[in-house]
Amino acid sequence: MNIIVVGLSHKTAAVEIREKVAFAPTQMEKPLQAVVALPDITEAVIVSTCNRVEIYATTRDVAGGMARIKRFLADYHNVPLELLEKHLYSYHGEDATRHVFRVASSLDSMVVGEPQILGQIKTSYGYAAEFKSSGIILNRFLHKAFSVAKRVRTETKIASSAVSVAFAAVELAKKIFGELSDKTVLLIGAGEMCELAAKHFINTGVRGVMVTNRTYERAEKLAEEFDAKPVHFEALMETLPKADIILSSTGAPHFIIHEKDMEEVLRRRKHKPMFFIDIAVPRDIDPKVNNVENCYLYTVDDLNGVVATNLEQRKVEAAKAEAIVEQEIGQFFKWLSSLEVTPTIVALRTHFDEIRKAELSKTISGWKDLPPGAEKKLDALTNAIMNKLLHQPTSVLKRIDQGNRNDLYVDALRNLFDLEVAGDSQDNMMELED
Amino acid sequence: MNALLFNSTLVIYAVATVIYLAYLVKPKQPLGRAGFWLTVAGFVVHLGFTLNRFLEAGHTPITNLHESLSFFSMATVGIFIMFERRYKASILGSFVMPLALLILAISATFSAVIPPLNPALKSKWLAIHTIMAFLGYAAFAISFGVSVMYLIQSHFLKKRRLGPMFQKLPPLDMLDDISYRCLTFGFPLLTFAIISGAIWAETAWGTYWSWDPKETWSLITWFIYAALLHGRLTTGWRGRKAAMLSIFGFVIMLFTFLGVNLLLSGLHSYK
Check CB contact of A64 with chain B, cutoff 8 Å. no
Same structural domain, A8 and A141: yes
Check CB contact of B162 with chain A, cutoff 8 Å. yes
Nearest chain B residue (CA) to A296? B158
Same structural domain, A9 and A147: yes
One-letter amino acid at B28 equals K
One-letter amino acid at A246 equals I
What is the domain extent for residue A372? 339-430
Work out the average pLDDT over B141-145. Answer: 96
Q: What is the pLDDT of residue B252?
A: 95
Distance from the B243 Cα atom to the nearest Cα atom in chain A, whole angstroms: 12
What is the distance of C-alpha A73 from the center of its chain? 23
| A193-228 pLDDT per residue, tens | 778 888 889 888 899 999 999 889 888 988 888 889
Enumerate residues 225 to 264 of chain B having a beta carbon within 8 A of any beta carbon in chain A.
235-241
Asked if the structure places residue A69 within a domain, the reply is yes
Contact between chains at B171 and A175 (C-beta distance less than 8 A): yes
Do residues A156 and A324 touch, judged by C-beta distance below 8 A?
yes
B174 contact residues in A (CB cutoff 8 A): 178
Same structural domain, A194 and A293: yes
Distance from the A295 Cα atom to the nearest Cα atom in chain B, whole angstroms: 8
Work out the average pLDDT over A232-242. Answer: 92
Q: Would the pLDDT of A27 be above 60?
A: yes
Among A273, A291, A279, smallest CA distance to A252 is for: A279
Q: In this prediction, what percent of chain A has a pLDDT beyond 90?
A: 45
Contact between chains at A294 and B173 (C-beta distance less than 8 A): no
Check CB contact of B158 with chain A, cutoff 8 Å. yes
Work out the average pLDDT over B72-81. Answer: 96
Establish, for the pair of chains A and B, how many residue pairs have beta carbons separated by less than 8 Å: 52
Q: Would the pLDDT of B121 be above 70?
A: yes
Lowest mean pLDDT among A250-254, A343-347, B215-219: A343-347
Asked if the structure places residue A333 within a domain, the reply is no
When pLDDT is cut at 50, 70 and 90, the band that residue A405 belongs to is low
When pLDDT is cut at 50, 70 and 90, the band that residue A335 belongs to is confident
Asked if the structure places residue A310 within a domain, the reply is no
Contact between chains at B235 and A302 (C-beta distance less than 8 A): no
Distance from the B27 Cα atom to the nearest Cα atom in chain A, whole angstroms: 12
Check CB contact of B160 with chain A, cutoff 8 Å. yes
Identify which of B158, B166, B173 has the shortest CB distance to residue A178: B173
What is the bridge-based pairing of β-strands A274-278 and A41-48?
unpaired
Among A327, A272, A278, A326, smallest CA distance to A302 is for: A278
Decide which of A305, A321, A353 is a domain's last residue. Answer: A305
Q: What is the pLDDT of residue B271?
A: 54
Q: What is the pLDDT of residue A412?
A: 82
Q: Which of B157, B165, B176 to mutate to test the interface with A (most CBs of A within 10 A)?
A: B157
C-alpha A400/C-alpha A394 separation (Å) is 10
Identify which of B160, B171, B235 has the shortest CB distance to residue A176: B171
DSSP A257: B
Q: What is the pLDDT of residue A433?
A: 34
| Catalytic sites of A, residue numbers | 50
Contact between chains at A175 and B172 (C-beta distance less than 8 A): yes
Q: For chain A, what is the domain count?
A: 3
Same structural domain, A53 and A187: no
Contact between chains at B166 and A296 (C-beta distance less than 8 A): no
CATH number of the domain encompassing residue A128: 3.30.460.30
CATH number of the domain encompassing residue A178: 3.40.50.720
Same structural domain, A144 and A254: no
| A149-180 pLDDT per residue, tens | 999 988 888 877 777 788 888 989 999 999 89
Same structural domain, A7 and A60: yes
Nearest chain A residue (CA) to B169? A175
Asked if the structure places residue A188 within a domain, the reply is yes
C-alpha A166/C-alpha A307 separation (Å) is 10
Work out the average pLDDT over A93-110. Answer: 91
- Average pLDDT score, chain B: 90
Do residues A62 and A40 touch, judged by C-beta distance below 8 A?
no
Helix, strand or coil for residue A210? strand
Q: Half-sphere exposure of B215 toward its Cβ, with a 13 Å CA cutoff?
A: 15
| B77-105 pLDDT per residue, tens | 999 999 999 988 889 999 999 999 999 99
B237 contact residues in A (CB cutoff 8 A): 271
Q: Rounded to 5 degrees, what are φ and ψ at B209?
A: -140, 125
Helix, strand or coil for residue B240? helix
Q: What is the pLDDT of residue B247?
A: 96
Identify which of B157, B170, B241 has the shortest CB distance to residue A293: B241
CA dihedral B105, B107, B112, B116 (to 10 degrees): 180
Same structural domain, A142 and A219: no
Distance from the A178 Cα atom to the nearest Cα atom in chain B, whole angstroms: 5
Contact between chains at A267 and B171 (C-beta distance less than 8 A): no
| A256-305 pLDDT per residue, tens | 999 999 989 998 998 999 999 998 878 899 999 999 989 999 988 888 88
Asked if the structure places residue A318 within a domain, the reply is no
Lowest mean pLDDT among A46-55, A92-101, A390-399, B70-79: A390-399
Distance from the B241 Cα atom to the nearest Cα atom in chain A, whole angstroms: 8
Q: What is the pLDDT of residue A373?
A: 85
C-alpha A228/C-alpha A194 separation (Å) is 14
Identify which of B160, B166, B172 has the shortest CB distance to residue A305: B160
Q: What is the pLDDT of residue B34?
A: 93
Q: In this prediction, what percent of chain A has a pLDDT beyond 70?
A: 94
Check CB contact of A272 with chain B, cutoff 8 Å. yes
Q: What is the pLDDT of residue A434?
A: 36
Same structural domain, A53 and A185: no
Contact between chains at A273 and B153 (C-beta distance less than 8 A): no
Q: In this prediction, what percent of chain B has a pLDDT beyond 90?
A: 63
Q: What is the pLDDT of residue A428?
A: 37
Decide which of A120, A155, A190 is a domain's last residue. Answer: A155
Asked if the structure places residue A421 within a domain, the reply is yes
A309 contact residues in B (CB cutoff 8 A): 162
Asked if the structure places residue A325 within a domain, the reply is no
Check CB contact of A309 with chain B, cutoff 8 Å. yes
Contact between chains at B157 and A305 (C-beta distance less than 8 A): no
When pLDDT is cut at 50, 70 and 90, the band that residue A51 belongs to is confident
Contact between chains at B239 and A293 (C-beta distance less than 8 A): yes
Enumerate residues 171 to 190 of chain A having a beta carbon within 8 A of any beta carbon in chain B.
172, 174-178
Contacts of B148 by beta carbon, 8 Å cutoff, 6+ apart: B95, B243, B247
Contacts of A277 by beta carbon, 8 Å cutoff, 6+ apart: A169, A197, A245, A246, A247, A248, A298, A299, A303
Decide which of A155, A189, A219 is a domain's last residue. Answer: A155
Same structural domain, A137 and A182: no
Which of B221 and B1 is assigned the larger pLDDT?
Answer: B221
Nearest chain A residue (CA) to B150? A176
Same structural domain, A290 and A188: yes
Same structural domain, A107 and A11: yes
Distance of CA A184 to CAs A188, A373, B198, Å? 13, 98, 48
Check CB contact of A302 with chain B, cutoff 8 Å. yes
Contact between chains at A175 and B166 (C-beta distance less than 8 A): yes
Asked if the structure places residue A278 within a domain, the reply is yes
Which of A138 and A306 is assigned the larger pLDDT?
Answer: A138
Q: Rounded to 5 degrees, what are φ and ψ at A379?
A: -60, -45
Same structural domain, A178 and A256: yes
Check CB contact of B54 with chain A, cutoff 8 Å. no
Distance from the A32 Cα atom to the nearest Cα atom in chain B, whole angstroms: 44
